[in-house]
Amino acid sequence: MNTIIKVSNLTKEYKGLKAVNDLSFEVYEGEILGLLGPNGSGKSTTINCILSLLTFSKGSITVFGEEMKPSAYNIKEKIGVVFQEVSVFDELTVYENIDYFCGLYVKDKKKRAEYVEDSIALVALEDFKKFYPKQLSGGLLRRLNIACGIAHKPKVIIFDEPTVAVDPQSRNNILDGIRRLRDDGATIIYTTHYMEEVEILCDRVIILDKGSIIAAGTIDELKALAHIEEKVSVHMGKPDESLFTLLKSDKNVEAVSYDDGVLKITYVKDENNLVGLIDTLKEQKVSYSKVYSERPTLNDVFLELTGKDLRD
């Protein structure tokens, strides 16, 4: 695999506080890399260093094999960025906004017109070309923001939480568009707090905390880090305390809880737990409406690695 971005021993300090601490990783051609972490973990600092928007204390960053620096315009024109905050011109229409941002990199008018139409089609804004931003819903604004960031057909695209506060239909459209960009050859860094998006999109994941990498790998590799193996939910009336005691006595049970009509049991090992649980419920003459089992999710792994305490 060709390395497109290489971050080596990156350290960024703010008044003695290390926001990023000796960070090293690579991004490979044609992949979607999920860059995850709780608030304050160093994600934004890392991205801003890659884009050469911040100077850093130590380390090096190369993009396309060349050193990334503020004056590296030949590299920057190959990068597209979609920040979390929507950044478009209110006085320009949808088409004019996309054309403006594309025109920063593509001077040929014929080619630019083609690129603008391609980006409009990617985010399904064909019916809104003459609309102004104030006339658009939140989801449409997000899609416009994406079109502006990728209209010049960059080889590297950085998405910073592009689906925040959008409806499910817009989210599906955005995720489908990102997959198409990857399939067309773009290399993508994707940050989000929605773990289900990461499971759908990302080829590899890096989890940061306190400026350092605490886990990295494919989705399956990260899930293997969880010490739990199975979570079972039973829809039923509130159980007697004796059932709690009986279930907790199983050496494979990590936790038992009951909330809003659902009994939840977490197992640390997968040893026919579901069969054994159903047998126990029958023996105890417990009635239930349905039972289902699920494996650990990326969200489980994320919380296990970074903790459940609130972050600022």
What's the pLDDT at 224? Answer: 87
Nearest Cα residue to 256 out of 271, 236, 282, 226:
236
Q: Report domain extents, the chain.
A: 3-223, 230-295
Per-residue model confidence as pLDDT tens for the chain (312 residues): 899 999 999 999 998 889 999 999 999 999 999 999 999 999 999 999 999 999 999 999 999 999 999 999 999 999 999 999 999 999 999 999 999 999 999 999 999 999 999 999 999 999 999 999 999 999 999 999 999 999 999 999 999 999 998 999 999 999 999 999 999 999 999 999 999 999 999 999 999 999 999 999 999 999 988 888 899 999 999 999 999 999 999 999 999 999 999 999 999 987 789 999 999 999 999 999 999 999 889 999 999 899 878 776
pLDDT of residue 86: 95
Element (H, E) at 23: strand 17-28
Please give the DSSP secondary-structure letter assigned to residue 157: E
The answer for residues whose C-beta is within 8 angstroms of residue 122's C-beta and 6 or more apart is 146, 147, 150, 177, 180, 181
Interval 159-184: pLDDT, tens: 999 999 899 999 999 999 999 999 99
Q: How many CB atoms lie within 10 A of CB 104?
A: 11
Tokens representing 95?
């088409």
Residue 228's pLDDT is 85
CATH fold for domain 230-295: Alpha-Beta Plaits (3.30.70)
pTM above 0.85, yes or no: yes
Burial 241-279 (b: 16+ CB within 10 A, else e): eebeebbeebebbbebebeeeebebbbbeeeebeeebee
Would you state the CATH architecture of domain 3-223? 3-Layer(aba) Sandwich (3.40)
Residue 9 to residues 1, 28, 51, 187, 229: CA-CA distances in angstroms? 21, 18, 16, 22, 35
Bridge partners, residue 156, by sequence = 79, 187
